[in-house]
Each structure stands twice: as structure tokens, then as C-alpha cells.
């Protein structure tokens, strides 16, 4: 089945990982990419501008009730959970923190797994807690592709290790191999 979306979760050390992967994607990469990075509340998301100046794909902060468009990178805004509705529309929520985070990676991954099933890939990158582990398992259980940054290449290995423990079938990929792995996913 064709890949329709990729969800990425990162925390401590994740900005470096994202800067290695997302700018390497071509301008015609045909899939929407939704990214949640743990950022402090009530702060501007400087990561949007940082990625926008380096990526060939457009990068924007996700907005509530926004239709998801292919070939676009959507960043979860600070202090809001990012979700995907069943019709592919993005939604923002100010519900309680999960895993001490808002936005929480599990929230995005679980809602995207419900919306896209086998047409989804989930990626957990560097981070210092276990957020995303349950969500990655949900992606896998829905028939999607589960990928983890190889812990040895993560600045902080806690999140990738927790994701592999929750989803042992996930593929661990070295950071430098991640861009080519994303391109190869399109052919699966």
C-alpha cells in the first residue's frame, strides 16, 4: 500500500538528527511529514525557521483543522498536542501533558496510526524519555512501518531504546542512512 504520511518524534538531541535527515529529502518527496519535538511551552518554535531555511520541502507549524498536504513538513506547535483526524485533517489539543510533554509523541503516532494504518511510517529519534514508544508500537500494530534511529547514533539513546523495547520488530537505522531509508520506503 502506498505511503501517505511519515510521523517523526524527537526530544533531547533530536534537533541535530532532524537537521541531518529532513534537509536531505528532495523537493518532490511526495509524502506529508509530521514532526513532534519536545519544546518548552510558551516559546516560539524556532525549529520551524531553522528547518525552513535548510529544507527543500516547505516547513510550517501545524494549524488546527488544517488539511494535510503531501510534500510538506508540519511541526507540532509548542504547548499543543498534534493529532491527525481520520479524514487526514490536522488537529491541535491543549489536553493534559502525556509523558510530561505537550506536544507528546505518542498522541501524534496513535492518532496517525488510526487515520492511516498501513499507509504510515513512524520514526523515533534521539530523546531522553520513553515518549513515542507506545505510539510506535501502535503504528506497527496498524500495519505501518516502524523505524528507530539506531541508539548508537543517537545523541541521547533513551527514546530509541524504549521504542525498540516496545516494538522489537522496528528497524533500527543509523542516522546517516536515514534519508536514503526514507526514500526507499516510498517504493515499498
Nearest to residue 108, comparing CAs of 73, 83, 144? 83
**Which spans in the chain are helix H?**
14-21, 46-52, 105-116, 133-141, 158-166, 178-185
Q: Cα(146)–Cα(136) distance, rounded to whole angstroms?
A: 6
Of 28, 131, 141, 187, the catalytic one is: 131
- The verdict on whether 101 is a catalytic residue reads no
Of 11, 101, 111, 126, the catalytic one is: 11
Instruction: Determine how β-strand 81-84 pairs with β-strand 90-93.
Output: antiparallel
- The verdict on whether 100 is a catalytic residue reads no
Contact 12, 51 (CB under 8 A): no
- The verdict on whether 131 is a catalytic residue reads yes
Nearest to residue 136, comparing CAs of 172, 109, 108, 162? 109
Task: Supply the residues annotated as catalytic.
Answer: 11, 38, 131
Amino acid at each position: 500500500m502506498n505511503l501517505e504520511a511519515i510521523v517523526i518524534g524527537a526530544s533531547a538531541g533530536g534537533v541535530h538528527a532532524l537537521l541531518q535527515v529532513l534537509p536531505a529529502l528532495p523537493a518532490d518527496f511526495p509524502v506529508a511529514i509530521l514532526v513532534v519535538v519536545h519544546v518548552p511551552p510558551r516559546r516560539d518554535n524556532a525549529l520551524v525557521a531553522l528547518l525552513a531555511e535548510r529544507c527543500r520541502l516547505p516547513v510550517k507549524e501545524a494549524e488546527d483543522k488544517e488539511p494535510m498536504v503531501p510534500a510538506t513538513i508540519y511541526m507540532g506547535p509548542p504547548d499543543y498536542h498534534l493529532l491527525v483526524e481520520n479524514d487526514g485533517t490536522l488537529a491541535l489539543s491543549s489536553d493534559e501533558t502525556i509523558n510530561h510533554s505537550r506536544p507528546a509523541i505518542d498522541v501524534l503516532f496513535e492518532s496517525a496510526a488510526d487515520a492511516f494504518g498501513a499507509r504510515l511510517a513512524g520514526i523515533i529519534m534521539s530523546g531522553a524519555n520513553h515518549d513515542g514508544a507506545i505510539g510506535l508500537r501502535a503504528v506497527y500494530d496498524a500495519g505501518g512501518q516502524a523505524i528507530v534511529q539506531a541508539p548508537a547514533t543517537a545523541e541521547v539513546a533513551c527514546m530509541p531504546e524504549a521504542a525498540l523495547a516496545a516494538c522489537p520488530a522496528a528497524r533500527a537505522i543509523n542516522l546517516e542512512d536515514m534519508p536514503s531509508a526514507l526514500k526507499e520506503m516510498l517504493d515499498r
